[in-house]
Amino acid sequence: MTVRTIVYEDDTVEIREGWDADSLQSARVAAGTTWTRVSAPTESELDQVSVAFDLHSLEIEDVRGNASPKVEVFPDHTFVLVKSAHLRGGETTFEEEIRDQPVGLFFGHDWIVTVATEETGAVGTVWDRIRREEPRLLGRDADFTAYRILDAIVDEYFAILDEIGRDIEAVEDRIIDEPDTETLEILNSLRRELLSIRRIVWPTRDAMGVLSRGDADHVQEATEKYYRDVYDHLVQHVELVETYRDLASGARDIYLNTLSQSTNEVMKRLTVVATIILPLTFVVGVYGMNFGGGPFNMPELEWRFGYPAVLLGMALTAGVMLQYFRSEGWL
């Protein structure tokens, strides 16, 4: 659990101590821009932050409840809920799975609060840039800092989609070489990953659309173009997700067709074997009726070369049938 506050202006950066409501309110009204970063907070810490910045309880509940990405505009601030995502090893499969966590951004004209259920790399990156006194950040208001955080989170989606794209290319090659059940499991895992990232990217794109159009009063006109850039990135993400979903579905169809073709080849060979054995079984059945002592007895039974002659005839029959099947392309 961590609550950290930083106040920055054009040429100064000040770290503020204390996470109680009075300390946070003092930082909020300080000269410059105030950023309070909340990671893995307790109930008490969230209550103090809510009181200090006049945050609605339903906003906090959306972050804690892992709601879908959204934007809500209030008179004194704008609330943005997005999801930070990354790939990590799955608990139930050998493939990687997409894990996401909600990140809530609350910002007015000169203050911003970020709330995350655990430490987030994208938020930490922007925080460190401010602490290193990056001029481009220090000279801007809270809406620009919010943009930098959102841009860093959206950039994480690129890495995930690149990894999924490489996995799809690999599984397409594997389908031709090794169309086994493990390949199908990998395909299903990729489809689940794409569904997970789709549930994140689509609503995030809609949320960025609200900010990029100037619907939020706390986003300055000069900053809207930066939000439009994030929106354009999300449009690319959506297109990539849909493209990869089509590729994954196509790869699955190829796998099923390859498996069906393999099954057909096996059945064709078994049919040829059964067809060859059929006349041989007939011959064996006929000569298995060893009736004797009557006028209709088979004279071959008394022939010295009867047995080898029958075997030779059966071999010739099988050979002729095999040659015929090969000439027809069935073998």
**pLDDT confidence of residue 236:** 93
How far apart CA 11 and CA 121 sit, in angstroms, is 25
Asked if the domains 2-259 and 266-327 are classified in one and the same CATH topology, the answer is no
Query: What residue spans define the domains of the chain?
Result: 2-259, 266-327
CATH superfamily for 266-327 is Magnesium transport protein CorA, transmembrane region (1.20.58.340)
Taking the CA atoms of 161, 166, 172 and 175 in sequence, report the sign of the dihedral they define: negative
CA atoms of 227 and 211, how far apart (whole Å): 6
Structure confidence at residue 94 (pLDDT):
39
- pLDDT value of residue 93: 42
Give pLDDT, residue 327. Answer: 77
CATH class, 2-259 region? alpha beta
CA distance 100 to 203: 14
Per-residue pLDDT 10s for the chain (331 aa) are 588 899 988 778 888 887 788 888 888 888 888 999 999 888 888 888 899 998 988 888 888 888 899 999 998 999 999 999 887 654 444 355 788 899 999 999 889 999 998 888 899 999 999 888 887 788 788 999 999 999 999 999 988 998 888 888 888 888 777 767 777 788 888 888 888 899 999 999 999 998 888 777 888 888 899 999 999 999 999 999 999 888 888 888 777 777 777 777 777 777 777 777 777 777 777 666 666 555 666 666 666 777 777 778 778 888 887 787 777 666 6
Which pLDDT belongs to residue 294? 59
Q: According to the model, what pLDDT value does residue 171 have? A: 84
- Report which of 124, 96, 100, 98 is spatially closest to residue 37, judged by C-alpha positions: 124
Query: What is residue 331's predicted lDDT score, i.e. its pLDDT?
Result: 65
Give me the torsion for CA of 64, 65, 67, 70, rounded to 10°: -30
